[in-house]
Amino acid sequence: MLEKLKEKGIDELYGDRIAVGTSTCGIAAGALEVLEVLALDDTKNVVEVGCLGFCSAEPLVYVQENGKAALVYRNVKKIEEAKVLGWFYPWEFSPLKLEHPELEGYKEYPRLVEHPFYKKQVKIVLRNCGIIEPLNISQYVAMGGYYALQRVLEKEPEDVIEEVKKSGLRGRGGAGFPTGLKWEIAKKNEGKKYVICNADEGDPGAYMDRSVLEGDPFSVIEGMTIGAYAIGAELGFVYVRNEYPLAVERIEKAIEIAKKYGFLGKNIMNTDFSFDIHVVRGAGAFVCGEETALIASIEGYIGEPRIRPPYPAEKGLWGKPTVINNVETWANISPIILNGWKFFASLGTEKSKGTKVFSLVGKVKNSGLIEVPMGISLREVVEEIGMAENVKAVQTGGPTGGCVPKNLMDVAVDYEELTKLGSIMGSGGMVVLDNTTCMVDVAKYFLEFSKIESCGKCVPCRLGLAEMVDIIERITKGEGSLNDLEELERLADVVANTSLCGLGKTAPNPLLTTLRYFREEYEEHIRGRCPAGVCRALVKYRIVEDKCTGCGLCKLNCPAEAIEEVDEVYKIDDKKCIKCGSCFNVCKFEAVERL
Amino acid sequence: MKFLINSLLEIQSKHGYLPKNEMERISMEFNVPISRIYSIATFYNAFSLKPVGRHVIHVCKGTACVMGGSEVFEDTLKQMGVLDDEDFTYQPIRCFGACSLAPVVVIDGKVYGKMTVSRLKKIVSKLFEDESKDSDNDKTSKGDEDAREA
Ligand SMILES: Cc1cc2nc3c(=O)[nH]c(=O)nc-3n(C[C@H](O)[C@H](O)[C@H](O)COP(=O)(O)O)c2cc1C
Ligand code: SF4
Ligand code: FES
């Protein structure tokens, strides 16, 4: 059956087609409007694909015609004005050995694999994203899909676990626990078993899980099916964030399709193995990404974490052994089986194997989702892939991660190395900060986030974080003292060491890293100055009459209606001004002064 | 298989909030005390106990968007009177997963990337205009009905 699907998929994938990336990021950039125009020509085969990762170049459109490779156009707003980004063979990003016809390349355009954004990338998890039509199972099979499951079903479950163990794969949801070991523990425990895919992705600033679910849902389903076979589960759950409606829709549809083709449901691929998946939506609580809170949420309770052990692999959903893995972890499984553990283990560092997907955003030229081998330096990621200039620090690991300053950017990106610097790998958010960012403000933002998202179950997290926010707010208003810094450090220590779950344990990270690497910025605030000019209580804005050309852009962009025209120049009314700096940022003539 | 949170989310998206009678129905259906339904409704951000307005505006307060300056949009909405207009519901959200287009604002389901204050003002003023037109229309159509009845 696979061969038939593969044939069909190969015809479709390498035949004539025009592909538009219509993931959430593409849609936000205007991809649907482009699609509408392209679809008017019904002689053309216009298809929708997921995200190729290069989000700052979206809408992305590529054209495959007359036996030639795919030619990619970037930032397509008007079709006639579209600029070429480069070209690629649809199979060349995948690490799997794929059957494909020969396509002719282009001489006059650059290759996508040579583009700074793609050059250092190795796509295992993202192998199909932006290449296949997400819900087209033939195309998924043509890219090597379901061959891993076929192979697995002929093996003993123990051998599958062994393969995953040897690969060195560690969980991509943050904590980095060895995946094979987790499976083994669950298998050894007695009783009915479950698998769960954690797609809660609460880290604001990271969206790789969304992209995989939207762009390649079968890869997650296949991974889960393999995991279920390995541990002996018949039921699985995908817990997906409610803020991702398209991802919810895609995974739900993909599950139905997989069932129709016999890859899911009763007697999978004509064996006596049966497995089914249900989708459960999250309801907007960050802490539900924590595994025990997530389980409580599926069970229909509020998402409060509980003390571990017992770990979910021992006592999880409804008290039964449960393997819970992140989206990216699941998407790694089938390539590991297909290419063998050695292939995976050959990538990365001694303790962190394989690749990691990062969402590279913030003050970079090239932003988007990138997948790089573990151990690459942060500098390569930020400066070579992101082409960032004037970097001040990189925030890694999400709201409870830390800030790595520019001078330490040569650090190798792996679980242990980032932890040494006081940050974490987390789920792979990477926000690049430059001189326009105030580090105290950054710490305040993350502390506020954790304070709001704390479930409130344990005292240090609930009260400690609130107290820390109060203090740091005082500092950003210029009302802090040097004692406050010591008090913050003391509180951070208590919260980190006495909280129940990972949220409280890691919430002080942004504060501690900024205090460690940017202490002088805190001290400046205490002296009444915000060096980056961000903290509202410590700045003032004024329009320099001589420089004002009277264009009025500042007035249009003032949220507080504090700017008035007086004799063809503009003036700021101090009483109305909320010091947001909007005028300062939009003025093209440097006529707005920050005092 | 039915899940409590899923069912509540369906009600939330159908009505825009969780009406009391629906919560009671769910409490019976799942055989859980109403107090637990309330605790769920107040714990999770996706639920509200009050009806939402005709226009829903989300400003992204995720990391990438805030660092990209999304906080001024809340100020803008406040100044424009959106925050205390019952036709509008304002809900900050943390990350839509479109971070490379930061700052992001979502208005009535449409995602706007690289938002600016001036663009937001324009869009919201348009909504205000439509609202006032609509309420005029409401009056006339109501008038028509009255006329027919008479
Ligand atoms: C506050 C908090 C939030 C978390 N959020 C997520 C999340 O959004 N996605 C995720 O996969 N794991 C998240 N985790 C980690 C999970 O608890 C768990 O370790 C993970 O799902 C295990 O899968 P993995 O081994 O594949 O990483 C979170 C942990 C904590 C403490
Ligand atoms: S550490 Fe915070 S989020 Fe975790 S259980 Fe305690 S209060 Fe809840
Ligand atoms: S931070 Fe705003 S979309 Fe992600």
pLDDT tens-place string over residues A334-393: 999 999 999 999 999 999 999 999 999 999 999 999 999 999 999 999 999 999 999 999
**Do A406 and A339 lie in a common domain?**
no
CA B61 remoteness from chain centre: 15
Q: Is residue A46 over pLDDT 60?
A: yes
A361 strand-pairing partners: A431
- A204 to B47: CB separation less than 8 angstroms, yes or no: no
The model's pLDDT over A120-153, given as tens digits with 9 standing for 90+, comes to: 999 999 999 999 999 999 999 999 999 999 999 9
Please give the order of strands across the beta sheet that includes A235-240: A276-281, A235-240, A194-199, A322-326
The domain spanning residue A300 has which CATH number? 3.40.50.11540
Residue A589 lies in domain? 540-594
The alpha-carbon gap from A400 to the nearest alpha carbon of chain B, in Å, equals 11
Q: Which atom of ligand 2 is nearest to the CA of A457?
A: 7
Residues A588 and A508 in one domain: no
Among B95, B106, B111, which residue has the most ligand 3 atoms within 8 Å of its CB, making it the best to mutate?
A: B95
What pLDDT was estimated at residue B148? Answer: 40
Count of structural domains, chain A: 5
Is A121 within the bounds of a domain?
A: yes
Q: For A366, name the nearest residue in chain B, comparing CA atoms only.
A: B100
In this structure, the answer to whether residues A220 and A338 fall within a common structural domain is yes
Instruction: Return the sign of the alpha-carbon dihedral for residues A357, A418, A164, A306.
Output: negative
Contacts with A243 from chain B: Cβ below 8 Å = 93, 95-97
Ligand 2 mean position, distance from CA B42 (Å):
17
Helix (H, G, I), strand (E, B) or coil at A157: helix
Task: Write the ipTM.
Answer: 0.90
Q: What's the pLDDT at B137?
A: 62
How many beta carbons lie within 10 A of that of residue B46, not counting itself?
A: 20
Q: Chain A interface, mutation test: which of B67, B78, B90, B112, most A Cβ atoms within 10 Å?
A: B67
- Say if ligand 3 is within 6 A of residue B105 CB: no
Determine the residue type at A518: F
CA distance A265 to A11: 28
- B106, closest residue in chain A (CA to CA): A28
B102 in ligand 3 pocket by Cβ < 6 Å?
A: yes
Residue A205's pLDDT band (cuts 50, 70, 90): confident
* Domain assignment of residue A534, yes or no: no
Instruction: Examine the domain organization and report whether A472 and A571 are in the same domain.
Output: no
Model confidence over B26-80: pLDDT tens digits?
Answer: 999 999 999 999 999 999 999 999 988 899 999 999 998 998 999 999 999 999 9
Min Cα distance B80 → chain A (Å) is 8
A154 and A110, same structural domain? no
Q: How many degrees, rounded to 5, is the angle at CA A513 between CA A512 and CA A519?
A: 85
Residue count (chain A): 595
Contact A556 B102 (CB under 8 A): no
A452: pLDDT strictly greater than 70: yes
- Residue B136's pLDDT is 64
Task: Tell me: do A190 and A103 sit in the same domain.
Answer: no
What digits encode the pLDDT tens for the residues A55-110?
Answer: 999 999 999 999 999 999 999 998 888 999 999 999 999 999 999 999 999 999 99
The answer to whether residues A215 and A231 belong to one domain is yes
A282 lines ligand 1 (CB under 6 A): no
What pLDDT score was predicted for residue A88?
98
**A191-214 burial: b if 16+ Cβ within 10 Å, else e:** eebbbbbbbbbbbbbbbbbbbbbb
- Mean pLDDT, residues A230-246: 95
pLDDT tops 70 at residue A119: yes
pLDDT of residue B140: 47
Same domain flag for A202 and A275: yes
Q: Find out whether the peptide bond into B103 is cis, omega within 30 degrees of 0.
A: yes
Residue A185, both tokens: 């523990």
* Nearest protein Cα to ligand 2, atom 4: A501
| Shortest CA gap B44–chain A (Å) | 6
Both A183 and A301 in one domain: the answer is yes
Evaluate the omega torsion of the peptide bond into residue A309 and state whether it is cis, within 30 degrees of 0.
yes
Angle at which helices A519-526 and A439-453 cross, to 10°:
90
Same-domain status, A265 and A408: no
CB A297 near ligand 1, within 6 Å:
no
Atom of ligand 1 at shortest distance to CA of A506? Answer: 31
A239 with A285, same domain: the answer is yes
Query: Counting ligands in written order, which one lies closest to the CA of residue A206?
Result: 3
pLDDT surpassing 60 at residue B146: no
Count of C-beta atoms within a 10 Å radius of residue A252? 16
Could you tell me if A202 and A449 are in contact, meaning their C-beta atoms sit under 8 angstroms apart?
no
CA-based nearest residue in chain B for residue A401: B63
Q: pLDDT digit string (tens) for A397-418?
A: 999 999 999 999 999 999 999 9
Note the pLDDT of residue B99: 87
Backbone angles phi, psi at A225, to 5 degrees: -65, -40
* pLDDT, position A187: 98
Last residue of a domain, one of A384, A419, A434: A434
Residues A14 and A31 in one domain: yes
Confidence check: pLDDT of A547 > 70: yes
**Average confidence score pLDDT of chain A:** 96
Distance between CA atoms of residues B56 and B103, nearest Å: 17
The C-alpha atoms of residue A398 and residue A361 are separated, in whole angstroms, by: 12
Nearest-by-Cβ selection for B96 from A24, A302, A363 = A24
From ligand 2's centre to the CA of A454, what distance in Å?
A: 5
Q: Tell me which architecture the domain covering B55-149 has in CATH.
A: 3-Layer(aba) Sandwich (3.40)
- Digit-coded pLDDT (tens) for A268-320: 999 999 999 999 999 989 999 999 999 999 999 999 999 999 999 999 999 99
Q: Is B43's CB within 8 Å of A285's CB?
A: yes
How high is the pLDDT of residue B96?
Answer: 84
A323 phi/psi in degrees, rounded to 5: -95, 120
Q: Are the Cβ atoms of B40 and A206 closer than 8 angstroms? A: no
Q: How confident is the model at residue B150 (pLDDT cuts 50, 70, 90)?
A: very low
**Contact flag A25-B97 (C-beta cutoff 8 Å):** yes
Q: Which atom of ligand 2 is nearest to the CA of A454?
A: 3
Residue-level pLDDT at B142: 42
Nearest to B117 among A56, A283, A559 (CB): A559
CA of A74 to the centre of ligand 1 (A): 34
Give mean pLDDT, residues A212-234.
98
Nearest atom (ligand 2) to Cα of A461:
2
Residue A254: pLDDT band (50, 70, 90) is very high
User: Would the pLDDT of B9 be above 70?
Assistant: yes
- Site from A74, A200, A239, A281 to mutate, B interface, most B CB atoms within 10 angstroms: A281
How far apart, in whole angstroms, are the C-alpha atoms of residue A71 and residue A110?
10
Q: For position B130, what pLDDT does the model report?
A: 86
Q: What 8-state DSSP symbol labels residue A460?
A: I
Q: Which of A400, A503, A505, A506 to mutate to test the pocket of ligand 2 (most atoms within 8 A of CB)?
A: A503
Asked which of A498, A526, A554 is the last residue of a domain, the reply is: A526
Distance of CA A532 to CAs A425, A505, A535, A587, B72, Å? 27, 29, 8, 17, 17
Q: A204 pLDDT exceeds 90?
A: no
Q: Which residues contact A565 (CB under 8 A, 6 or more apart)?
A: A550, A552, A555, A571
For residue A391, the cross-strand partners are A434
**How far is the centre of ligand 1, averaged over its atoms, from the C-alpha of B71 (Å)?**
28
Counting every residue written for chain B, the total comes to 150
Q: What is the pTM of this model?
A: 0.94
Whether residue A533 is contained in a domain is answered as: no
Is A572 contained in some domain? yes
Ligand 2 binding residues, C-beta < 6 A: A 287, 305, 454-458, 461-462, 499-501, 503-504
CA distance A72 to chain B (A): 19
Roughly what angle, to the nearest 10 degrees, separates helices B34-43 and B20-29? 120
In a domain, A186, yes or no: yes
Nearest CA to ligand 1 atom 4: A289
Nearest CA to A207 out of B101, B22, B150, B2 is that of B101
What does the pLDDT read at residue B138? 55
Taking the CA of residue B72 and the nearest CA in chain A, the distance in Å comes to 7
Task: Determine contact, residues A184/A193, Cβ cutoff 8 Å.
Answer: no
- A37 falls in which pLDDT band (50, 70, 90)? very high
Neighbours of A136 (CB within 10 A): 19
Atom 1, ligand 1: residue with shortest CA distance: A503
Reported confidence tier of residue B97, pLDDT bands at 50, 70, 90? confident
pLDDT band, very low/low/confident/very high, at B145 (cuts 50, 70, 90): very low
Q: pLDDT tens-digit profile of B102-128?
A: 999 999 988 899 999 999 999 999 999
Domain boundary, last residue among A493, A526, A559? A526
Tokens of B109: 């389901």
Indicate yes or no: CB of B63 within 8 angstroms of CB of A204: yes
- Is residue A161 situated within a structural domain? yes
For residue B75, the chain A residue with the least C-alpha distance is A559
| Ligand 1 pocket member A144 (CB < 6 A) | no
Q: How many Å lie between the alpha carbon of A52 and the closest alpha carbon of chain B?
A: 13
Residues of chain B with CATH 3.40.30.10: 55-149
**Distance of alpha carbon A531 from its chain centroid, rounded?**
30
3-state secondary structure of B60: strand
- Per-residue tokens: A150: 């076929």
Cα–chain center distance at B16: 7
For residue B95, which atom of ligand 3 is closest to its CA? 4
Q: Counting one residue from A and one from B, how many pairs have CB atoms under 8 Å apart?
A: 157
